[in-house]
Amino acid sequence: MSGPAGWRLSPAVPAWLAVGVATLLLGVLARRPDVAVLGVPLLLGAALGWSRWPARSVRTRLAGTDQAVGDGRLRAELEVAGGGPQDLVSVRVAAPGHRPQDCLLSAHPRTVALEMASVRTGRRRLFRLDAAAADPSALLVTPVRSADAVVMTVLPTTRALAALPLPFRLQGLTGPHGSRRAGDGGDLHDVAPFRPGDRLRRVDWRVTARLDRSGTPGSAGAPTQLYVRRTFATADATVMLVVDSRDDVGPRVASWGDAEEVDEDEATSLDLARHAAASLARAYLGAGDRVGLEDLGRLRRPSPPAGGRSQLARLVQQLAQSEPEGEPRRRRRVPRLPSGSLVVLFSTFLDDDAADIAATWRQSGHRVVAVDILPVLVTADLPDRQRTAYRVVAMERADRLASLAHVGVETVSWRLAAGLDPADQLGVLARQRHRR
C-alpha cells in the first residue's frame, strides 16, 4: 500500500502485525495477561506508523560539472533534499572500476561530496545512484529509486612545452617568430637605398654619410641618397591539430574492441591524444600563434585557426568530446587545411588511412609531425593465436611509420610511461626547420 509522496508500508509491518496478533491471542486463550501485554506494543507501533504518513518526499540527485583530471581524482556531489531531520535515506553509489559504496544518511537537506580515482578523460558516465528513504521507525519506506549515471566532461590536462617545431614558411604579418623576409622586426636583414614607402625613422645616418659619394666630406650639403636599415619581419605560425578519434585502444591488447574492460588507471590512446593536443595548443597559443583542430573521426567542418585564451578553452572542450562514433569510416577526400600550416597528427597508425592522409599533406607542401599515441602495450596475457595476430599488426604498423619517415613526415612518440620525453623530441624538431 502506497501513501502520499511515494511512501509505503515496510515489509516488516505485516510481520509486526502477525506477531502482535498471535501474541495477544495466545495470551487471551492461555489466560496469561503478561503474555497478551507483549503483543500490545507491536500493534500500537504498527498502528502509529499507519496513521503518520509523511507528507514530504525525500529527493536525491547527483550533480557533476566539467573538470580536469589534474590530480587523478574526479568529483561530484550528492544532494539530499525534502526530508525531515529524523528521516533516513540509504544510498548506494557506484562508479566505473570501483566497488559500490553503501551509506545511511540523515535525510535533512545536505550535500555530500563524492570522489573517485581515474586517469581517463572525455565524455564519461560516472557515479550511478540508488536511494531509498525510511521514517524514524522504519515502518514507512520509499521504493528504491535508481538515477542515471551523471554525465561529465573530463577535460585533459596539459604539460609545459618549451621549444616547438614551426612550419617551413611563416605567412603571418606579425608575430613572435622571425621569418626570412624583410619587414618590421628586430634582427638586421641588410642596408638598402631609401625607397618610397620606407619609414624615415629607419634611415641610418651613419651609413648614409659613409656611402653617399656625391657630396664632399665635411660639406654642409644634404646627401643625395639615403640608406635605411631593413630587418627581418616577424610572423606567427598556423598550426592544425588533427586527432584520429576513429579508434580508442587501451594498454592491454586483450581489451581491444571492448572499451568497458579498460581500467580507470589505464590511459587509452585517445586519453594520450587529448593530453598531447591540449599541451601543444596551450604552448602554441601562449606563444601568440594561431591553432585549429580537425577530427578525422567526424565528418564535420574543422575548427578554423585562431588565437587567444578563448580558442584554447574551445579546443580543449572539443578534444574532450572526441570519441569513436560507430565503425571507423574511411575518408574519401583528404581534409583541406590552410596553406603553409604545420600539421600535427595524433594517431595510433593501426591502419593505413591516417598514414595515407599524412603522406598526402606532406606531398602538398605542409610540414607534418606525426604523434604516436599508442600506449605502452601489455601482451603477457594473450593466448598464442592473439599473440600471433598482434605481431602481424605490430609489424604492419612499424612499416607504416617507416614509410612516413621516408616521405618526410617527422614522428614523435607520446608514451609517457616509456621513459621518452615528448618535450625533448619536439625540441629536436624545433631545430630542424629546413624543408627536407
β-strand pairing of 342-347 with 367-372? parallel
Nearest to 194 by CA among 160, 227, 163: 227
C-alpha cell at 202: 629607419
**How confident is residue 1, by pLDDT bands cut at 50, 70 and 90?**
very low
What pLDDT, on a 0 to 100 scale, did the predictor assign at position 2? 47
Strand order in the sheet with 122-126: 67-68, 150-155, 122-126
Contact 42, 17 (CB under 8 A): yes
Residue 412 has pLDDT above 50, yes or no: yes
What pLDDT, on a 0 to 100 scale, did the predictor assign at position 314? 93
Contact 67, 44 (CB under 8 A): no
Q: What is the pLDDT of residues 340-373, one digit of tens each?
A: 889 999 999 999 999 999 999 999 989 999 999 9
Nearest to 124 by CA among 256, 264, 229: 264
Residues 6+ apart with CB under 8 A from 419: none
Dihedral, CA atoms, 78, 81, 84, 90, nearest 10 degrees? -30
Contact 87, 106 (CB under 8 A): yes
Residue 384 has pLDDT above 60, yes or no: yes
Contact 107, 87 (CB under 8 A): yes
Question: Which amino acid type is present at position 220?
Answer: A
Distance of CA 18 to the CA centre of its chain: 58
Residue with cell 587509452: 268
What pLDDT, on a 0 to 100 scale, did the predictor assign at position 242? 95
d(CA 277, CA 282): 9
C-alpha cell at 18: 502477525
Contact 359, 343 (CB under 8 A): no
Helix (H, G, I), strand (E, B) or coil at 53: coil
What pLDDT, on a 0 to 100 scale, did the predictor assign at position 313? 93
Q: Can you say whether residue 317 is alpha, beta or left, with left for phi > 0 and alpha for psi between -120 and 50 degrees?
A: alpha
* Angle (CA) 77 78 84, round 5°: 140
Residue 107 has pLDDT above 70, yes or no: yes
Q: Which of 140-149, 207-216, 298-307 has the lowest mean pLDDT?
A: 207-216
Contact 246, 373 (CB under 8 A): no
Question: Which amino acid type is present at position 393?
Answer: V
Report which of residues 179 and 400 the model is more confident about.
400
Contact 347, 397 (CB under 8 A): no
Residue 240 has pLDDT above 90, yes or no: yes
pTM of the model: 0.77
Q: What is the pLDDT of residues 286-303, one digit of tens each?
A: 888 889 999 988 877 788
Task: Please give the domain boundaries of the chain with CATH numbers for all domains.
Answer: 4-51 (no CATH), 59-154 (2.60.40.10), 180-235 (no CATH), 238-430 (3.40.50)
d(CA 244, CA 342): 16
Highest mean pLDDT: which of 110-114, 177-181, 262-266?
110-114
Residue 38 has pLDDT above 70, yes or no: yes
What pLDDT, on a 0 to 100 scale, did the predictor assign at position 5? 53
What pLDDT, on a 0 to 100 scale, did the predictor assign at position 272? 93
Distance of CA 427 to the CA centre of its chain: 25
Taking each helix axis from N to C terminus, what angle separates 352-363 and 384-406, rounded to the nearest 10 degrees?
0
Residue with cell 618526410: 408
Helix (H) or strand (E) holding 356: helix 352-363
Q: What is the pLDDT of residues 299-313, one digit of tens each?
A: 777 889 998 889 999
What pLDDT, on a 0 to 100 scale, did the predictor assign at position 388? 92
